[in-house]
Structure 1
Amino acid sequence: MISCRSSDTGGLGKAAGIAPSNNERLNGANGTHKPYKRAKPRTENDGLFTYLCMQLCEHQVGIAVNLLSLLFLTHIFFPRARQHTRKFYHLSYYNAENGKYGCGTDDLAYVALWLVLFVGLRVAVMDYVLAPLARCGGIRTKKGLVRFQEQAWLVCYCVCSWSLGMYILWNSEYFFNLHGMWKGWPFREICGLSKFYYLAQWAFWIAQILVVNIEEKRKDYAEMFTHHIFTIALLFLSYGYYHTRVGIVILCIMDLVDIVLPTAKLLKYMGYANICDIFFGLFVVVWLVTRQAFFPMVIYSVYKHSPIDMEPGCYFADGTMVAANETERYDALGGNVVWPNLVKAYTDREGPVCWNPTIRFSFLTLLLCLQAIIFLWFCMIVRVVVNVIRGNSADDVRSDDEGDDEEMEDVKTGYEAHHVAAAPLEQEVGVESLNFASRKSMNANGAAAVRRSKNQRSTRSSGISIPGHGDHKELLGRIGCDKPS
């Protein structure tokens, strides 16, 4: 998926007497890190919604800190509000008798808190932790810095989430036991660690909807966005239908790939070509095992095992049930309806929840759609492997250019600035428009104009402050705020 060979041209522009690179301007004169923050002025053509979208993208840390501070201060200084604010800080529906937690609408507040935390934490870690590490690793370009931060953040999160998920699976009765995902359903109460893991993952994938629209758009933006939508829908429905066990299994299956591939990209950005090749080969193996073997096995279990281990019927909170063959009572309890049962945890926690074949095929449809997207990515991987076998480099077919063109950007800018400044400009003007400025000033202005034009053409957004958008229509179009022209 990635090109593991790239030439290091760091310092070439500086040696040639060319203007400082974007990365050098980011670091400052003394070599210390200075977050690249620049607020966009509001113009007359910007509506309120447009302005708010831009502020959201450019001030993610500030907005997150302000929201969290407001919630904390409300909780501290307004005791009457604590019955509402407490649900943001604590897992809801605790049962002291068995030490487990139920599921319900109050959990959405906890998801909202972690959504804000992930948005702010992502930017803060990228800006103040990963950016210095990128420079220590030899990253020489602004685009390389942004790519390193994005991939390193994904590695940091997925290592934590996958480790926690595997710990939960290892200590569960359904570790490598497909039947264990269904026996005993509905799982109205789960342990606190499993609930925290599920809600945190849910919040993370909601945050990814924002991230995928802030980061540089890849060639598979539509597939990635659709993947996130299906993932969030499955988390929402499986939690509302007490199917958290199968959800935890799928999350663990998916997270492992998101550790190996970004790690390979990080090695590529730092110039470790041989280790990058090894991790690319490991990525292909991990993908085949997890997403082309384990995940289809889970889908098969939904189809084959769930009807065996889960008898069709309506299940009550006290453990009793009404079988589907008791047609009159089963229909009266809503046994044949779909949506009210899928969201039972949010609408009627203590009421009966019913299982029927239509619901099973609904989950199968969502999982098969997710598998279809995964198969499209697998086809891309096969193309890359074929290219490698033929002796070509392992280019990432789903990304825009991430390699050598990026590192030569500053040199090319200086070259263009020199020739534009030196070339004569023929234009018909009036006498009053003549400007007898010095040649030195004209050269400086010409180089600055070319640099501004180059920056506008090579706009990149890191999700940190989104610098370099001279004309912010591109930014607004990416976040869905710009009106079509």
Structure 2
Amino acid sequence: MSANKTAMGDIASSTETYPFEKDERYRSQQGLNGFAVKEPFLPNGLGLQVRKRKMVRKRKNVDESPFSVLCAWVVEHQIGLSLNLLLLLSLTHFFFSRARPYTSLFLGMSYYNPKSKKYTQGWEDMYFVATWIIIITGLRVAVMDYILKPIARYGGVNKPKAQVRFAEQGWLFCYYSLFSPLGMYIIYQTKYWFNLREIWTDFPTHTMNGLLKWYYLVQFAFWLQQIFVVNIEEKRKDYWQMFSHHIFTSALMFSSYGYYQTKVGVVILAIMDVVDLLLPLAKMLKYMNFRTACDITFGVFIAVWFVARHVIYMMVCWSMFSEIPHVMKQGCYNSTTGQMISEDGGTAVWWNVMQPFDRPGGTICYNNNIRIAFTALLMALQVLTLIWFGMILRVAYGVLSGKGAEDSRSDDEGEDEEYEEIEYYDDKIKSFDGTNEIVTRTIALPIEEDVNAEEMNLGLRRKSTSPTTASAPRRSTRRTGSARATALSIPGHSDKKDILGRIGCDKPS
């Protein structure tokens, strides 16, 4: 048994430790842990030592670098920045005629053919996309702050973070309430409604009507803006899956738009948007504590997810694999007339995807490498959705069987905060000789008590100023948070962890 010199004067304590020993004598003493700890033996027959510790939990300092401050400022002023940019653009367009050839690119869709009354695609479309990124950014925050948060408060959602979560899901519900039926309407007006083979006919289909082009470009702007959103919201446990999903989706939209495959792009978007309409609805019902409605929506959500994302979606992928070789012949085509120029499609992929941006009206080729590249992107999305669906089924099974569930895609991830724990010391120690005698000795020892940091005046001691004072406070970090489930109203199981974070229907604590 070795002895160490401690900061508590010249008292030597043993490094040998013993198990905790409960002692009923101390349960009623306020501020004690309720048991005596048989740890360091003290001289002079002090025996058992009861120590009082007080822990102060305070939020750790956040990053205050110039870049972080700038990002925080942008996030706090999204509405003002969006309005000012749009106002500046509009005033420039109306009052400076020489600037109109440039500002008109931001305010309207390009490449309109008055004769055919159709649009084509090109690089100037990206200016229109940029405008809609700004519009969506400002509109999102305005709807959240001035419409959805008041609705949340009216519906009994009182906690600020829960109101933010409700507003985030409410915005998605509003967005998909418009674009999900709009996508279905566009497909319904075409010949490839319930006929996947027609998706691949008439390649290259370089013209489109105004509604299809507006729908596609605004959707592209939305998904680019979602990359920004997922990085400004408090990060969930599935941050990297969501970030990867947005990257893959944006890449697919850009490449399909450039390669004259907007038909399959609209089909994929419509398939995905049906599910994304139900998901935020279930979340909103969860926060407003409509348990029965949430349970029903959750069940419908699982069924629609499976049918849309794992049946119809895979039918589209299979059509790409099985029907394209019979419908789209490998070779090079005139992008304007669609006439085949050569049966040699080469091996290039990116060169052909960028054709309408680099060489409008030029030659575009199709080869097997292009089909493989598009299939790989679609299957990457399928892998992500399979991972999420597996989480949904696993947690749903745990809830139905009455077991707790680990929150795998939690909205409550943002509830976790990093705190700094600091041990403070008082100047009393109560020690016992093992029988009834109590010896009180003045000494600095830790105190344990959960308190609000703002309510304390403890006089932190950074250094030891005398043999009887404590050493510098010890610091450690701990992540604290809560996770609850369940969406389903199961008798006797009302206090379980959350269903999968983004899907659960239990009212948050």
Q: Shorter chain as normaliser: what TM range?
A: 0.7 to 0.9
Matching residue of 2:147: 129
Is 1:338–2:313 an aligned residue pair?
no
Is 1:211–2:229 an aligned residue pair?
yes
Counting strand residues as a fraction of each chain, which structure ranks higher?
2
- Cα distance in 2 for partners of 1:87, 1:101 equals 14
Asked whether the equivalents of residues 237 and 413 of structure 2 are also in contact (C-alpha less than 8 Å), the reply is no
Matching residue of 1:382: 393
1:104 and 1:394, CA in 2 relative to 1: closer, same or farther beyond 3 A? same
Asked whether the equivalents of residues 162 and 256 of structure 1 are also in contact (C-alpha less than 8 Å), the reply is yes
1:428 and 1:109, CA in 2 relative to 1: closer, same or farther beyond 3 A? closer
Q: Choose from 215, 237, 241 the match for 1:197.
A: 215
Is 1:319–2:338 an aligned residue pair?
yes
- Cα distance in 2 for partners of 1:248, 1:184 equals 16
Counting helix residues as a fraction of each chain, which structure ranks higher?
1
4+ residue runs over 4 A deviation: 392-396, 402-406, 415-431
Matching residue of 1:348: 359
- Cα distance in 1 for partners of 2:405, 2:297 equals 12
Asked whether the equivalents of residues 278 and 297 of structure 2 are also in contact (C-alpha less than 8 Å), the reply is yes
Mapping for residues 269-280 of structure 1, pairs under 5 Å: 269-280=287-298
Asked whether the equivalents of residues 241 and 344 of structure 1 are also in contact (C-alpha less than 8 Å), the reply is yes
Matching residue of 2:102: 84
Gap runs ≥5 in structure 2: 1-61, 418-448, 466-478, 482-509
TM-score by length of 1: 0.72
Superposition deviation, residue 205 in structure 1: 0.2
Is 1:372–2:383 an aligned residue pair?
yes
Letter in 2 for 1:216: E
Matching residue of 2:300: 282
Mapping for residues 434-453 of structure 1, pairs under 5 Å: none
Matching residue of 2:475: none
Q: Matched residue pairs, number?
A: 376
1:201 and 1:350, CA in 2 relative to 1: closer, same or farther beyond 3 A? same
Matching residue of 2:442: none
Asked whether the equivalents of residues 239 and 345 of structure 1 are also in contact (C-alpha less than 8 Å), the reply is no
Is 1:363–2:374 an aligned residue pair?
yes
- Cα distance in 2 for partners of 1:278, 1:319 equals 49
Higher relative contact order (CA 8 A, sep 6+): 1
Is 1:62–2:73 an aligned residue pair?
no
Letter in 1 for 2:79: V
Task: Classify the secondary structure of the residue corresponding to 1:105.
Answer: coil
- Cα distance in 2 for partners of 1:427, 1:225 equals 45
1:343 and 1:394, CA in 2 relative to 1: closer, same or farther beyond 3 A? same
Letter in 1 for 2:140: R
Mapping for residues 147-186 of structure 1, pairs under 5 Å: 147-186=165-204
Asked whether the equivalents of residues 235 and 413 of structure 2 are also in contact (C-alpha less than 8 Å), the reply is no
Task: Classify the secondary structure of the residue corresponding to 2:75.
Answer: helix
Is 1:146–2:164 an aligned residue pair?
yes
Asked whether the equivalents of residues 182 and 310 of structure 1 are also in contact (C-alpha less than 8 Å), the reply is yes
1:154 and 1:428, CA in 2 relative to 1: closer, same or farther beyond 3 A? closer
Cα deviation per residue 1:225-282 (whole Å; 9 max; x = unaligned)?
A: 0000000000110000000000000000001111111111111100111111111111
Matching residue of 2:263: 245
Q: Choose from 412, 415, 423 the match for 1:401.
A: 412
Cα deviation per residue 1:269-313 (whole Å; 9 max; x = unaligned)?
A: 001111111111111001000001111111111111112111111
Identity %: 47
Matching residue of 2:429: none
Cα deviation per residue 1:6-54 (whole Å; 9 max; x = unaligned)?
A: xxxxxxxxxxxxxxxxxxxxxxxxxxxxxxxxxxxxx99743x444322
- Cα distance in 1 for partners of 2:191, 2:453 equals 71
1:229 and 1:402, CA in 2 relative to 1: closer, same or farther beyond 3 A? closer
Matching residue of 1:478: none
Matching residue of 2:15: none
Task: Classify the secondary structure of the residue corresponding to 2:347.
Answer: coil
Asked whether the equivalents of residues 144 and 402 of structure 1 are also in contact (C-alpha less than 8 Å), the reply is no
1:46 and 1:419, CA in 2 relative to 1: closer, same or farther beyond 3 A? closer
Letter in 1 for 2:203: W
Task: Classify the secondary structure of the residue corresponding to 2:194.
Answer: coil
Cα deviation per residue 1:432-455 (whole Å; 9 max; x = unaligned)?
A: xxxxxxxxxxxxxxxxxxxxxxxx
- Cα distance in 2 for partners of 1:113, 1:318 equals 31
Mapping for residues 417-432 of structure 1, pairs under 5 Å: 417=451, 421=455
Superposition deviation, residue 320 in structure 1: 1.6
Asked whether the equivalents of residues 132 and 221 of structure 2 are also in contact (C-alpha less than 8 Å), the reply is yes
Superposition deviation, residue 153 in structure 1: 0.4
Letter in 2 for 1:352: T
Task: Classify the secondary structure of the residue corresponding to 1:155.
Answer: helix
| The structure with more radius of gyration | 2
Root-mean-square deviation (CA, aligned residues, Å) is 2.8
Matching residue of 1:38: none
